[in-house]
Amino acid sequence: MVLAIDDLTVDFTTDRGTLRAVDGVSLAVASGRTLAVVGESGSGKSVTALAAVGLLPGSARIGGRIALDGEPLTPDRQRALRGGAMAMIFQEPMTSLNPAFTAGEQVAEALRIHRGLPPRAAFEAGVAMLDRVRIPDAERRARQYPHQFSGGMRQRVMIAIALACAPRLLLADEPTTALDVTVQAQILALLDTLKRETGTAVVLITHDLGVVADHADDVAVMYAGRVVERAPAARLFAQPEHPYTVGLLGAVPKLAGGAGRLASIAGTVPDMRSPPRGCRFAPRCPFVIARCVAEAPPLMEMAPGHASACWRAPLSQVLEAA
């Protein structure tokens, strides 16, 4: 496993008390594979990724184990490997580049830090990288500033920065959410190609289940700071086991040209300062039983590689019986 997160917890101390944003999350990604992390806003997807690279603010207290290629990631190692062996790209391409430096300089900086390249060589390698992310006329574009690029082109520059040092792990936090659909498809296709070429392990955070279906090997579904279901992508779509996942899938326009029904799950995400004691989905769950409210369900393996955190599992049988 390139990335292995085990029982991760993240607590934030705020003026209004302590909040556990991530509660016992375990994830793993292998080389050349893409793990999609999905879940509603506030479910802890970004916090999990930021914890892996060590970019959480000082107010965060982190528990659990994170390892890269089997070696534990201490804060010192995270600092040393960030931008080199592990890289992250973000949602906001319009603001994620520094307006005061050229695109080429910003790619070159990563190469200077992690490869120790002298400025000239780093810049040239930066141009080559911009070319690899399919920026036309890279030589000239490298000397331009971010405001001279479109959103899609900026995200390509971000990808060039992230992949400049051929990372073992790439964390992509909603990399295409801010882009229009065609550009989004181009960027994701580019990420797939680069991943195949380099064997990078990818964690793809997204809201978009269509993106998951097309680009992910495995999926982790998060709800209120926990992973509630984990499965190979194809299996998750074919046979979702957790009521929350079932709800989410119901909320997607049917992929295979179906009725295009857009149902959202009733209710709202719990307040993370005082989450429900048992299963966190209980207040919104149509399958709730007494045990759900009393006791939190652990992730239980139901088939190889497929686990769900639900007392009513396997839900497929419940659904069939009904």
Partner 1 sequence: MLRWLARRFAQIIPTLIVLSMLIFGLQQLMPGDPAMILAGEERGDPVVLAQIRAELRLDRSLPEQYLHWIGNVLVGDFGFSWRIREPVANLILQKLPVTFQLSAMAFIIAVLIGVPAGILSATHRDTPTDWVANGIALFGISMPNFWLGIMMILLFSVELGWLPPSGYVPITEDFWQSIATTIMPAFVLGTGVAGVLMRHTRAAMLGALAQDYVRTARAKGVAERVVVWKHALRNALIPVVTLGTIEFGRLLAGAVLTEQIFTIPGFGKLIVDAVFNRDYPVVQGVVLATALIFVGLSLVADLLYMAVNPRMRQA
Ligand X SMILES: Nc1ncnc2c1ncn2[C@@H]1O[C@H](COP(=O)(O)OP(=O)(O)OP(=O)(O)O)[C@@H](O)[C@H]1O
For residue 270, whether the previous peptide bond is cis, meaning omega lies within 30 degrees of 0, is no
Residues 20-49, mask of contacts with Mg ion (x by CB under 5 A): --------------------------x---
Which residue is it, tokens 């107010």?
Answer: 59
DSSP 8-state symbol, 82: B
**CA 244 from chain center: how many Å?**
18
Task: Name which of ligand X, partner 1, ligand SF4, none residue 282 binds, using a CB cut-off of 5 to 8 Å depending on partner kind.
Answer: ligand SF4
Tokens of 107: 């790619």
d(CA 211, CA 228): 20
Tokens of 322: 């009904």
- Part of the chain binding ligand SF4 (CB under 6 A), chosen from 16-24, 105-113, 160-168, 308-316: 308-316
Residue 113 is a binding residue for partner 1 (CB under 8 A): yes
Residue 145 is a binding residue for ligand SF4 (CB under 6 A): no
- Part of the chain binding ligand SF4 (CB under 6 A), chosen from 140-148, 203-211, 258-266, 287-295: 287-295
Residues 60-99, mask of contacts with partner 1 (x by CB under 8 A): -------------------xxxxxx--xxxx-x--xxxxx
Could you tell me if residue 64 is left (phi over 0), alpha (psi between -120 and 50 degrees) or otherwise beta?
left
Task: Name which of Mg ion, partner 1, ligand X, none residue 135 binds, using a CB cut-off of 5 to 8 Å depending on partner kind.
Answer: none
Task: Tell the smallest beta-carbon distance from residue 248 to ligand SF4 (Å).
Answer: 12
Pairing mode, if any, of strands 300-303 and 226-232? Answer: unpaired
Beta bridge partners of 20: 11
Beta bridge partners of 230: 220, 307
Which residue is it, tokens 């190469």?
Answer: 111
Task: Tell the smallest beta-carbon distance from residue 50 to ligand X (Å).
Answer: 8
Rule CB under 5 A: which residues touch Mg ion?
46
Residues that bind partner 1 (CB under 8 A): 53, 55, 79-84, 87-90, 92, 95-102, 109-110, 113-114, 145, 147-148, 158, 161-162
